[in-house]
Amino acid sequence: MSTWTKQKLGDVCDVGDGAHTSVKRVESGIKYLTSKNFKDGRLDLSSVDYISHETYSKLFHSDSKALTTPQKSDILFSIIGSIGSPYINSSGEKFGISSSVSILRPNIESVIPSYLFYWIRGPIFQNAIKGIKGGVAQGYVSLEMIKTLPLYSPSINQQEKISSILSAYDDLIENNKKRIKILEEMAERLYREWFVKFNYPGSTYAKASADRHEKVRLIDSGTEYGKIPEGWEVKRLGDIVNIVSGFPFKSTTYLEDGKYKIVTIKNVHDGVFVLNFDSFINDLPAKLPANCVLNSGDVLLSLTGNVGRVCIVYGADYLLNQRVAKLEPIGSSVREFMYLLFRQRKFQQKLEAISNGAAQQNLSPIQMKELEIVIPPKKILDKYSNICRNYFDEIVALYDRNLNLSKTRDLLIPQLVTGKREFKN
């Protein structure tokens, strides 16, 4: 690094932050980002707030010199709570931001935005920001503190090379995410066509008719579901799914790092397994059930808080904590049907309806097993599974691939942005 320039962020960046006033949230509109939305170099929009267009126009005007309004290529990062997680606004999307989020607008003659983004994720910057943060209950850094943080940078040409190497990993990860989304949508569309619209292979519906009521023979189920296709049944959820509760780990045994990661409800978002862990152990408890050791492809369900959310596990060395359940399909052709059933909003509302608790919703696996669901004949389940099994296997494989890409990129970041690894033209 002897040929690199050592500067302070304030020397090469304009620094600002978001709204310092109370902002009314609305159900939809323009995204309003707070520190909770920044994780591991990306935006986590699983729980995002919105503000109206009027509020955005009032607080976040389009003047490019205003350091309250994110512009294209700005670096945003959290400065309250879990501080120092950056995001590069490469698309130029409109955002409102709270005062818990800082904006860095680099002078591109000194540092290019993509290099600054990776520099912030590197060890020198992260250690520096931990060393200056204030606050007891909740950490924070002020704008003046940010300006004093270090920036080590090579020539612009070298910055571009470093960024291109690291961004190649991020581009592959994003492409895989798009493929995952397409596969999930394909399975979802087929589920709704077969099990909601009853347009399944072999039904008279599939032979085309002008009148929908003539397309499939319906019979009265005698339940809340009303008429269902002939040959279909209303059964208990427990007839197709085993609901396995997690293990009551003792928090006194937790480590800051270790071999096994403890999976809690915060890791289970709707359709997304979040790899953000606070608790670890090195040794398995003596009484830990074998089915509390998770594997890629397992399906998890949140039992507390935002109940009824499901996701697919990927990776290894995860242990299931209490208040999270694993859904084990009963039968070889049930997994895909089961997962899509739990992803349906109407079914999630059923789970919310039977949950209890004043301060926080709680789902009982015992009550869940008694829920009535409509089950198609085995041959229909087999056909659906045969089609969608490949989708699900590919989804898990893509998740695993992204995990490996992320690990490799994260190993390269500290080597490249500290000059420990050199490369030839």
Question: What's the whole-number mean pLDDT along residues 346-367?
Answer: 87
Which helix or strand (DSSP H or E) is residue 38 part of?
strand 38-39
Does pLDDT of 330 surpass 70? Answer: yes
Task: Write the CA distances from 403 to 154, 159, 191, 257, 408, integer angstroms.
Answer: 29, 25, 28, 18, 9
- The identity of residue 81, as a single letter, is G
Does pLDDT of 210 surpass 90? Answer: no
Query: For residue 2, what pLDDT band results from cuts at 50, 70 and 90?
Result: low
Classify residue 216 by its DSSP letter: S
pLDDT at res. 212:
44
pLDDT at res. 66:
64
Does pLDDT of 154 surpass 80? Answer: yes
Question: What's the whole-number mean pLDDT along residues 4-11?
Answer: 94
Query: For residue 136, what pLDDT band results from cuts at 50, 70 and 90?
Result: low
Does pLDDT of 271 surpass 50? Answer: yes
Q: Is 422 within 8 Å of 189 (Cβ atoms)? A: no
- Domain boundaries 233-375, CATH class: alpha beta
Q: What is the pTM of this model?
A: 0.86
Residues 6+ apart with CB under 8 A from 171: none
Pick from 345, 378, 242, 372: nearest CA to 298: 242
pLDDT at res. 425:
53
pLDDT at res. 148:
94
Asked if 5-153 and 233-375 have one fold, the answer is: yes
Question: What's the whole-number mean pLDDT along residues 106-129?
Answer: 94
- What six digits make up the tokens of 181? 């989304």
pLDDT at res. 135:
61
Q: Is 23 within 8 Å of 59 (Cβ atoms)? A: yes
Among 124-133, 172-181, 249-258, which is the least confidently predicted range? 124-133
pLDDT at res. 424:
60
Task: Write the CA distances from 320 to 188, 262, 324, 335, integer angstroms.
Answer: 27, 6, 7, 19
- How far apart CA 95 and CA 157 sit, in angstroms, is 31
Q: pLDDT tens digits, residue range 30-60? A: 999 999 888 878 888 878 899 999 999 888 8
Pick from 130, 136, 131, 127: nearest CA to 83: 130
Q: pLDDT tens digits, residue range 211-265? A: 444 467 889 999 999 999 999 999 999 999 999 999 999 999 999 999 999 999 9
β-pairing, 13-17 with 101-106? antiparallel
Does pLDDT of 422 surpass 90? Answer: no
Question: What's the whole-number mean pLDDT along residues 91-120?
Answer: 93
Among 70-79, 152-161, 238-247, 355-364, which is the least confidently predicted range? 355-364
pLDDT at res. 63:
60
Q: Is 32 within 8 Å of 23 (Cβ atoms)? A: yes
- All structural domains of the chain with their residue ranges: 5-153, 233-375
pLDDT at res. 204:
56
- What six digits make up the tokens of 74? 């700005």
pLDDT at res. 300:
97
- Domain boundaries 5-153, CATH class: alpha beta
Does pLDDT of 398 surpass 50? Answer: yes
- What six digits make up the tokens of 257? 């790092």
Question: What's the whole-number mean pLDDT along residues 303-321?
Answer: 94
Would you call 378 exposed, middle or buried from its count of C-beta atoms within 10 A (0-12, 13-18, 19+)?
A: exposed
pLDDT at res. 396:
96
- Residue 54 — left, alpha, or beta (φ > 0 → left; ψ -120 to 50 → alpha)? alpha
pLDDT at res. 206:
45
Mean pLDDT of the chain: 90
Which helix or strand (DSSP H or E) is residue 294 part of?
strand 293-294
Q: Is 152 within 8 Å of 111 (Cβ atoms)? A: no
